[in-house]
Structure 1
């Protein structure tokens, strides 16, 4: 029953005496929002009365208080459908302000990568941003790089700490204190973002007036050059009935944007510990965020994973992990001081248990006992019942079992238990290694190949599909570490051949056991009747620092090989001369073309338009992985000489930079508006755009045996300009391309193409080459397979 005081408040409200109504309502409703939610729960009439209070605030113009109340109330009672659906309340809508985005980049000795990081931000399709760079006591070239970019771009603001703060949270918090954007995004100084990263996130955020806009994952770039996609699921995050409510796969700050007014309203800041600084920020942001948008299909952030500087090694393994305990202590303190709703403590527990179990598994023996005692103490405060419910609903029984083990047992028992789990995990890893990554069914005992590299290049897929179709061969592809006795025992009656690609995967200069394991596996395979095939993608590494050792290692592996496949006559002769491979065991099987794998070319004018390039200009394309021996700086210097005389030429550089030390100079030399530098893994659906726009694919290699980029260009009916080295003269005929003998010659031919003195090739001229190098035609000519089947 509504009491007399509330009736008087309603009477004042109906009489439009809003100031009096507000004062009376505030006497009746608790100021603590958690208590308020409990008071209103299950009382719809009282909720409607409380809505009158909100409207009183609106008529009084107290928009700040309405915004805060609604955030806090939605977080405290996410099931409410009356108060939270109040219509017509004014909001702090600042979407028309500028800048609409503040991008924050903390910098500490990131000179090797910083140039490209900043450039990737400056080239964003979404341009209404301020970029706040915080030089956190850098002693390398970072300050000069920052200064140069700031002089060129008025959107850049610079903060400088003369002494390093010692943690990645402090400089970000300094930037948040001066940020003016409607939204805030974060980029780490050794990472980079795709051109459409913020246009996608900001489009979602602005359209929905979201508190947080999530992307769907990130591209993980390993030091080895391998690129993998890490994807998220947002399932349950905004569903109060889900066990995953307010829980997300990502606990990072850099793969999303946050509404700044929400951050300011609740003073949401980064932690200032050595690591785990995202933890307090993300917990607070997830709790208060009421309007969330996701695009699980969009990935635009590129994360650089350098093993030698990883948090796991630097901070977890060889320390007492005090930073992590401090982070969760701060979170629990925040939750208590801000009367956070009860359900959210269970969410905190989920992250706490999973994070600290990971830490226990990583920490070294030296620190284990001390870390264990602190973890155990924190686990005693975890609500075991709600945590069990989460683990059951999300099929994470193993995590609940680990939790109980730590909570109820000694350090010695737990360490033994974790060691047993580690051994079981190793056994599981072996099982995963001997599980094929790629399979083609066939009647004939066929080929197991190593390593299976299908993600970054379709070469193997196209080659084996052709073999499978012509010879009806079974085919399976494996990780290079899958070459082991267990697999040979399992497959010896079902497969006849083991096929090795890229021999550098089968030895390690720093770890002799890698080669030993390779030799042991090959010897065992031969004893069990397997024949060994080797494809000479290269004869030796072009940039090896251990040439003598590498030659010796390759010789040992090649001694087991029965059949070698060379991409051309030159490659064959080098195998014979440098490794004494028997001539009659070598077959020439050229690198094939790519068929319709990447789709059909689009109109050249349309393709150039996509890159903002004038239709009548000449476009040179460098495509493929970038390493020192590929001569990219030779191309850049010759292009710049041509640019001194011409404005109608453009250069596109697209591909992964595998020699990271090249990045600062690459970024510096590609600042020309007529150069489009697109480092990183090129998605399959983007390849066609690059080759459709190009008038000439230029390959300025200093060393090469064969070239997948050349064959891709032929496939795309794009003429090639390549050096007359390796097997390229055997492939690049006058009908489909040009060869050069020096880099001066390369420049001269580029200029002649731009001037129209060399007429560009028509599509029909490529027909013969495409037919000759079609995988179906190449595969059927492999003689030892013809004899076997």
Structure 2
């Protein structure tokens, strides 16, 4: 059994996959398993994968997906194949530091952690982020879980004990263009007993022009928002830790709700300007698609969350006043 299985979904990754895999096959951690899934690419991604497998057959496993299932579906094939004690995730257009998985694994073993997080560097903004500070490491309680969930973060900067994905089985939503892993990170934080960190920037995010998340139309984006809101509730509400983290989970649902509403109202917000006195005008002259999605967003919010804006301290602290006012107006319109 490998110490860490690293799962890499790849779709039409000609320009980036070699750099990504190069950063993985030369990891200082020796007992590593790199599982690369070809998500029915139409370029030479599969050929690149086969060459890498031929050169590093002791470390690399490749899967040729015949049907495009999106990054979530490709990752699911990786989860099913993984044998590692811990699981890491890397996107095919990113790369990692050569000692990333040795540092994360050693920290996981030292503290008997279910999750270990590291820092993240975004090239396009020249910013480095560490989502898991020392204040939330160790044995998790309600306060730490609320801080972690409200703080966001990324699956790809972490390793997870494999049992978190398998006992019971949890998999990602498939054929989703964005937000496909929103509920998974919340689920993992609720399920984990202990979390650790490595305070180094180990994951490098490359903001590739033309990537899948940058070419999303209104319907696809709003379907993703609605799907993510549903999935948070369906995947997490039954867990015993849910109630203790409800403030932060409701905040995350409110963020999605706000994203969806603002996307529907985008043209009017741009037309009138982002000022509270124009909020009523934002909801005028919408087409049928926009109206239907606003109704759907409200329905999911009421069915699954029904958060109280003025009593949720995280919403009050983290969301802009105008966004809260827009959400309240949407609620008012649809309550009748």
TM-score band w.r.t. shorter chain = 0.7 to 0.9
In structure 2, do the counterparts of structure 1 residues 233 and 128 end up closer, same or farther at CA, with 3 Å as the change threshold? closer
Match of 1:232 in 2: 131
Shift of 1:317: 4.2
Do residues 388 (structure 1) and 312 (structure 2) align? yes
Q: Quick check: 1:107–1:133 contact (8 Å CA) kept in 2?
A: yes
Shift of 1:319: 3.6
Do residues 269 (structure 1) and 193 (structure 2) align? no
In structure 2, do the counterparts of structure 1 residues 387 and 289 end up closer, same or farther at CA, with 3 Å as the change threshold? farther
Shift of 1:195: 1.0
Q: Unpaired runs of 5+ in structure 1? A: 1-97, 412-789
* TM-score, L = length of structure 1: 0.36
In structure 2, do the counterparts of structure 1 residues 264 and 230 end up closer, same or farther at CA, with 3 Å as the change threshold? same
Match of 1:352 in 2: 253
Match of 2:67 in 1: 163
| SS at 1:305 equivalent | coil
Match of 1:405 in 2: 329
In structure 2, do the counterparts of structure 1 residues 320 and 377 end up closer, same or farther at CA, with 3 Å as the change threshold? same
Q: Quick check: 1:379–1:403 contact (8 Å CA) kept in 2?
A: no
| SS at 2:146 equivalent | coil
What is the alpha-carbon distance in structure 2 between the residues aligned to residue 219 and residue 196 of structure 1?
A: 15
Q: Quick check: 1:243–1:390 contact (8 Å CA) kept in 2?
A: no
Q: 1:122 aligns with which of 17, 21, 25?
A: 25
Match of 2:78 in 1: 175
The CA RMSD measured in Å over matched residues stands at 2.7
Match of 2:284 in 1: none
* TM-score, L = length of structure 2: 0.81
Match of 2:292 in 1: 370
Do residues 192 (structure 1) and 95 (structure 2) align? yes
Shift of 1:294: 2.0
Match of 2:275 in 1: none
Q: How does 1:231-270 map to 2 (within 5 A)?
A: 231-232=130-131, 234=133, 235=135, 238-241=140-143, 244-270=146-172
Shift of 1:353: 0.9
Match of 1:305 in 2: 207
Render the CA deviation track for 1:615-659: whole Å, top value 9, x for unaligned: xxxxxxxxxxxxxxxxxxxxxxxxxxxxxxxxxxxxxxxxxxxxx
Q: Quick check: 1:239–1:245 contact (8 Å CA) kept in 2?
A: no
Q: How does 1:221-620 map to 2 (within 5 A)?
A: 221-222=123-124, 227-232=126-131, 234=133, 235=135, 238-241=140-143, 244-272=146-174, 273-295=176-198, 297-309=199-211, 311=213, 313-315=214-216, 317=218, 319=220, 321-338=222-239, 341-363=242-264, 365=267, 367-380=289-302, 381-384=305-308, 388-392=312-316, 394=317, 396=319, 398=321, 400-409=324-333
Q: Quick check: 2:190–2:239 contact (8 Å CA) kept in 1?
A: no
Shift of 1:190: 0.8
Q: Quick check: 1:212–1:289 contact (8 Å CA) kept in 2?
A: yes
In structure 2, do the counterparts of structure 1 residues 197 and 385 end up closer, same or farther at CA, with 3 Å as the change threshold? same
In our comparison, the structure showing a higher alpha carbon Rg is 1
- Say which structure, 1 or 2, has more relative contact order (CA 8 Å, 6+ apart): 2
Render the CA deviation track for 1:15-60: whole Å, top value 9, x for unaligned: xxxxxxxxxxxxxxxxxxxxxxxxxxxxxxxxxxxxxxxxxxxxxx
Shift of 1:212: 0.5
What is the alpha-carbon distance in structure 2 between the residues aligned to residue 257 and residue 138 of structure 1?
A: 27
Q: Quick check: 1:320–1:371 contact (8 Å CA) kept in 2?
A: no
Match of 1:215 in 2: 118
What is the alpha-carbon distance in structure 2 between the residues aligned to residue 133 and residue 358 of structure 1?
A: 32
